[in-house]
Amino acid sequence: MSKDYAVIGKNVPKIDGREKATGAAKYAGDLKFPNMLFGKLLTSPHAHAKILSIDTSEAEKLPGVKAVITHKDVPALKYGISPARWDENIFCIDKVRFIGDKVAAVACIDEETCYKALKLIKVEYEVLPAVLDALLAMDEGAPQVHDEYPRNINTEIHQNFGDLDKALAEAYHVRNDYFVGQRTYQSPIEPHSAVSIWKDNKLTIYSSTQSPHYFQYYIAREFGLKMGDVRIIKPFVGGGFGGKLEPTGLEFAGAVLSKLTGRPVRTFYDRHEMFAHNRGRHKVYMELTTGVDKEGKILGVHANFVSDGGAYTSLGVATSYYAGGLLTLTYEFENYKFDMIRVYTNLPACGAQRGHGAPQPKYAFESHLDNIAKDLGLDPLEIRLRNARQPNTVTINDFGINSCELTACLEKAADISGWREKKGNLPKGRGIGIATGSFVSGAGYPIYRNDLPQSAAMIKVHEDGTAATLYTGAVDIGQGSDTALCQMAAEAMGYRYENMKIIAADTETTPHDFGAYSSRQTLMSGSACKQAGEEIKKQILDIASTIMSLPPDDLDCRLGIIFSKSRPTAKTITFEEAARRFFVLRGPLLGRGVYHVPRLGGTFKGAAVATSPAYSFCAQISEVQIDEETGEVDVCEVWDVHDCGQVINPMQLHGQVHGALYMGVGEAIWEEVLFDDQGKILNPNLGGYMLPTALDMPIVHSELVESFEPAGPWGVKEVGEGATNPTMGCFNNAIYDAMGVRIDSLPLTYEKVWCAMKEKREGKTESNTEV
Amino acid sequence: MYLPDFDYYAPDSLAETCEGLEHFGAKAKVLSGGTDIIAKMKSGLLNPEVLISLKKLEDLKKIEYVSGKGVVIGALSTHNDLVNSKILNDKYLSVSEAAHNMASNQIRNIGTVGGNLCNAVPSADLPPILIALGATIKLVGTKGERVMLLEDLFTGPMKTVIAENEILTEIVIPDQPSTGSNYIKFGLRRSGALAVVGIAVAVTVNGGTFTEAKIAIGAAAPTPIRARETEKFLQGKTISDDLLAEAGVIASGESKPISDIRGSAEYRRDLIRVLTRRALHKAINEGHV
Ligand SMILES: Cc1cc2nc3c(=O)[nH]c(=O)nc-3n(C[C@H](O)[C@H](O)[C@H](O)COP(=O)(O)OP(=O)(O)OC[C@H]3O[C@@H](n4cnc5c(N)ncnc54)[C@H](O)[C@@H]3O)c2cc1C
């Protein structure tokens, strides 16, 4: 970031750092209200069953129970987050579709009574055969998860760009590979909680949410309320990663319980319930066929995927489009076919998880590309350099790319990791791998169709000018948007970060913003905040010009000092003085900003998904050490080089890279939600679900390349999700380099590595075939 | 998940504890650090009406050396007590290291050695190394006390010979001629992971030959097991790389692991082969580590 800036580009202290570090910060589950009740949900113990009857009479008799509700007490209107597929009910009406599906809820005077009451609800089920395997779900005669969706097909995509058949026919080499991903779970440290207060005709919900707006819209819709009568407030949130983007039974049931009892109701998940609710990453089955010329230039690609969506849609329609849509970003090719089927199964629903849809296809493609490089005798770095996307290009599926420094990222990653010295020269058991990634800087279109701007912001300067409050709908869930947006507002105003206050993510007091997802806030919310700040500055300079008797055009304001640009010796005044005078003479000093995305993308079906005003790019290199006998993978070191445009707060940026890598490393080697043959999760806790620990993390080098994005305020673009995308493929390639074995399913566990090495020793053929 | 209701007692003496256990019979369970039993009660796997806590039995919180007897470890010693005990660090660092590689620091601060043994899960980390070192245990009940080899405690997964009115009070690592011991835990991450397999060895080496080798393996069968064939094979043999490799093969053949979410039986058997060799190698060359 250029040195001309006073506030942005600097490591200012996090605006909420002290509160969080001292434990003063209050999360939804910490909130207490007079007379508050506790609510819990009763969920299905069967993966697929008819509900024959529900008897709540015993539960109602238990002292301390204030309300017991089932589907009879709530609207029957189906909801969901993907508009084309509203397929969930607040409570199941005639059948349950996965272990954990919502059946009833209670509100009681304390938590303990809730558990006792839940045990007293008698539900009679008729167990139905369940479909637990996505590849069998489409078979004739397979159990039907939803009657409305024959053969359990939830989403089907067939996109065709250019002439793939011709490209493959003319290719020097065509390769076909098959890879399988895994279901993972976001595992935010803060469990989901909500406090619902339905009083008179107004519903207020404090929720651990990534998007007050979508919660407000869908909750108002469900209960037939005006959006203005639903207020969603986000307290501190301990991580979301995509899992807190849609309202859950906690809000829907909590609202009804509050309405019935006339008291605030706190509903919450424990860790097991979080896993059961899930909405984690889809498991995708991925077939890739690619044709290249002699030099390794990619001519055409066919991506043929099936994904296991679980019992409901959640965000899965978008996930499915993203899975193939984003594959065209990092490498340039002109012929592309993308086929995808997302199927329903009797497992918990999958949704959006950091890198939405992209990481598993990226794992497959980056592994596939290394296979091709090997077939051609090319260095993996070289094949990537030959195909790397260039700036000011348009992908075959109509995404416009402005800034793109992928080539520079690859070169720098190679330099700082010592790729050229290491490649081919490491001792056996040690390997180095490379992969690239890219991600949207905010989805070009909202989740449900509407014409609202992406983001809006207001700034109110205190009457004596000693503080300014930024009002934004942007949602800080730990990533630090409150800090970055205050920096941006202060920069635009010519003010000081230290004097900024923020009120964010409350649908009643803050202007609209779609929330924290698709890495959108720095670019989109940032644009609105910048504009609001500029409006303040314009007004402050205007009043200052009357005080200073200088033309407003000659004035500027920096760090709260207003000065003449042409007369450096002219007397300056402070922002405070000018602001105070403004208030006295003209009333409140307010700034407003709004950000609309320009129309983006093509006209084919699904063209809207994965459009964005700007795309980040990155290259990753990782080094591993494999225990040749046990298969144990030591993830030694990772080099991540990002093109994320200009940087507002370097420390937060590198924090995002570390966090994204943490998730990527976990999903690469360790994490998987496992089920038994009845559809029950075997590891719904942090003991069994293998998140890496601090001791397991590699040494991380996070570096940047110089880049400026014209579509972003001050040239910014995304970083939060992009660094998750290359990681799994990168590690697979490093393992291949170390041991000459290719693991074709995630996670790349020690046992799979052991097994692949054993098969190689025993001379069994590699599972990946060459066409 | 919530903790069901139960009655709670914390007697002042061993005798009262045993009487209480006898009085409540099958309804009661012993509570030590609670890191196993409380989790099981929360998830509904166990539902005792009464918990009898050992926490006031100060005598059981000790690690001391008694000459002529050996290192005496009170059942209430926490994992971190084992980690930090000077006596163990000096004599059997392998035990401290085994404790150090368990769970997480929070769990090591409250989980006890008694709980780890009495819980009797096949993957527990302390039984193998203590068995390899020939540890004995003392069980005290209303009808007196008995001393036995630790390896005779286990009868199956989560099953022991402990009677309803008995508690385990101490573990003794006897004085011994062994020259080296070592425990290798193979977990799926570096902290907070249960053993996929755990191999403990204690060797007595004299001039390049094995006088004795004891090998105990966790997560290889319904209980921690001794690899007796392997031990017999090694006795009196001259140490060589080939010999240790062959020992690994025999130990692998002696094991009867299962497949579960942490690993397949086939994988476990091969890990036993590799890690037995490595553990022997380490114990021979590095002493009690
Ligand atoms: C997150 C986590 C990670 C873990 N990681 C590991 C690991 O890496 N390795 C490992 O081996 N274990 C691990 N454990 C399991 C557990 O922590 C240990 O087994 C611990 O040693 C149990 O001791 P405790 O004192 O907490 O036992 P408790 O839970 O109090 O008791 C366990 C059982 O033993 C009985 N009992 C306890 N003491 C006596 C006694 N003196 N006489 C008779 N019966 C008794 C109890 O009645 C109960 O049935 C882990 C547990 C957790 C929660």
Q: Does CATH number 3.30.390.50 belong to domain B180-286? A: yes
In the prediction, which pLDDT does A767 show?
47
**Ligand 1 atom 6: residue of nearest CA:** B103
Q: What angle do CA A480, A486, A492 make, to 5 degrees?
A: 140
Architecture of the domain whose range is A28-130+189-277: Alpha-Beta Complex (3.90)
- As a whole number, mean pLDDT of residues A664-692 equals 97
The verdict on a CB contact (< 8 Å) between A751 and B264 is yes
- Distance from C-alpha of A250 to C-alpha of A734, rounded to nearest angstrom: 43
For residues A524 and A442, is the Cβ–Cβ distance under 8 A?
yes
Atom of ligand 1 at shortest range from CA of B75: 41
Q: Which neighbouring-strand residues pair with A49?
A: A96, A127
pLDDT tens digits for range A705-748: 999 999 999 999 999 899 999 999 999 999 999 999 999 999 99
B7-53: which CATH number, 3.30.43.10, 3.40.50.720, 3.40.50.300, 3.30.450.20?
A: 3.30.43.10
Residues 181-200 of B with CB under 8 A from A: 186, 188-194
Q: How far is the CA of A315 from the centre of ligand 1 (A)?
A: 41
Position A245 pLDDT exceeds 50: yes
Atom of ligand 1 at shortest range from CA of B112: 25
Q: What are phi and psi of A435, to 5 degrees?
A: -160, 165
pLDDT tens digits for range A329-371: 999 999 999 999 999 999 999 999 999 999 999 999 999 999 9
In the prediction, which pLDDT does B168 show?
98
Residue A552 is classified by DSSP as G
In the prediction, which pLDDT does A769 show?
39
For residues A417 and A639, is the Cβ–Cβ distance under 8 A?
yes
Q: Which neighbouring-strand residues pair with B181?
A: B202, B288
- Distance from C-alpha of B160 to C-alpha of B123, rounded to nearest angstrom: 15
The verdict on a CB contact (< 8 Å) between B261 and A629 is no
CATH topology of domain B60-174: 3.30.465
B161 lines ligand 1 (CB under 6 A): no
In the prediction, which pLDDT does A2 show?
56
Position A765 pLDDT exceeds 70: no
Architecture of the domain whose range is A454-595: 2-Layer Sandwich (3.30)
Which one is predicted more confidently, A422 or A84? A422
Residue of A nearest to B259 (CA): A751
- Distance from C-alpha of A83 to C-alpha of B177, rounded to nearest angstrom: 74
Measured in angstroms, the CA of B79 and the nearest CA of chain A are apart by 18
The verdict on a CB contact (< 8 Å) between A674 and B270 is no
Q: What percent of chain A has a predicted confidence (pLDDT) above 90?
A: 98
Q: What distance lies between CA A271 and its chain's CA centroid?
A: 20
Residue A768 pLDDT level (bands cut at 50, 70, 90): very low
- Distance from C-alpha of B212 to C-alpha of B209, rounded to nearest angstrom: 9
For residues A434 and A614, is the Cβ–Cβ distance under 8 A?
no
Atom of ligand 1 at shortest range from CA of B194: 8
B127 lines ligand 1 (CB under 6 A): no
- As a whole number, mean pLDDT of residues A131-140 equals 98
Q: How far is the CA of B30 from the centre of ligand 1 (A)?
A: 11
B163 lines ligand 1 (CB under 6 A): no
Atom of ligand 1 at shortest range from CA of B162: 43
Nearest by CB to B261, which of A111, A112, A683? A683
As a whole number, the mean pLDDT across chain B is 97
Q: CATH topology of A28-130+189-277 equal to that of A354-444+610-761?
A: no
- Distance from C-alpha of A92 to C-alpha of A103, rounded to nearest angstrom: 5
Residue of A nearest to B103 (CA): A687
Position A764 pLDDT exceeds 90: no
Atom of ligand 1 at shortest range from CA of B139: 42
Q: What is the DSSP string of chain B?
A: --PPP-EEE--SSHHHHHHHHHHHGGGEEEESS-TTHHHHHHTTS---SEEEE-TT-GGGS-EEEETTTEEEEETT-BHHHHHH-HHHHHH-HHHHHHHHTSS-HHHHHH-BHHHHHHH--TT-SHHHHHHHTT-EEEEEETTEEEEEEGGGTEEETTEES--TT-EEEEEEEE-----EEEEEEE-SSSSS---SEEEEEEEEEETTEEEEEEEEEESSSSS-EE-HHHHHHHTTPBP-HHHHHHHHHHHHHH-----BTTB-HHHHHHHHHHHHHHHHHHHHHH-B-
B32 lines ligand 1 (CB under 6 A): yes
In the prediction, which pLDDT does A324 show?
98
B122 lines ligand 1 (CB under 6 A): no
Q: CATH topology of B60-174 equal to that of B180-286?
A: no
For residues A767 and A744, is the Cβ–Cβ distance under 8 A?
yes
- Distance from C-alpha of A394 to C-alpha of A544, rounded to nearest angstrom: 46
Measured in angstroms, the CA of B104 and the nearest CA of chain A are apart by 10
For residues B173 and B113, is the Cβ–Cβ distance under 8 A?
no
B141 lines ligand 1 (CB under 6 A): no
Residue of A nearest to B269 (CA): A630
Any idea where the domains of chain A sit in the sequence? 28-130+189-277, 354-444+610-761, 454-595
B112 lines ligand 1 (CB under 6 A): yes
pLDDT tens digits for range A380-398: 999 999 999 999 999 999 9
- Distance from C-alpha of B21 to C-alpha of A353, rounded to nearest angstrom: 50
Per-residue pLDDT of chain B (289 residues; tens, 9 = 90+): 789 999 999 999 999 999 999 999 999 999 999 999 999 999 889 999 999 999 999 999 999 999 999 999 999 999 999 999 999 999 999 999 999 999 999 999 999 999 999 999 999 999 999 999 999 999 999 999 999 999 999 999 999 999 999 999 999 999 999 999 999 999 999 999 999 999 999 999 999 999 999 999 999 999 999 999 999 999 999 999 999 999 999 999 999 999 999 999 999 999 999 999 999 999 999 999 9
- Nearest alpha-carbon partner for A213 in A249, A245, A253: A245
Any idea where the domains of chain B sit in the sequence? 7-53, 60-174, 180-286
Position A270 pLDDT exceeds 50: yes
Q: Give the 3-state secondary structure of residue A258.
A: helix
The verdict on a CB contact (< 8 Å) between A690 and B188 is yes
For residues A132 and A343, is the Cβ–Cβ distance under 8 A?
no
* Best residue of B188, B241, B244, B259 to probe chain A, by most A CBs closer than 10 Å: B188
Inter-chain Cβ pairs, chain A and chain B, closer than 8 A: 44
As a whole number, the mean pLDDT across chain A is 97
Q: What percent of chain A has a predicted confidence (pLDDT) above 70?
A: 99
pLDDT tens digits for range B65-123: 999 999 999 999 999 999 999 999 999 999 999 999 999 999 999 999 999 999 999 99
B129 lines ligand 1 (CB under 6 A): no
Looking only at the bridges linking them, the beta strands covering B167-174 and B7-9 are unpaired
Q: Which neighbouring-strand residues pair with A563?
A: A556
Measured in angstroms, the CA of B132 and the nearest CA of chain A are apart by 23
Q: Does CATH number 3.30.365.10 belong to domain A354-444+610-761? A: yes
Residue of A nearest to B187 (CA): A632
B37 lines ligand 1 (CB under 6 A): yes
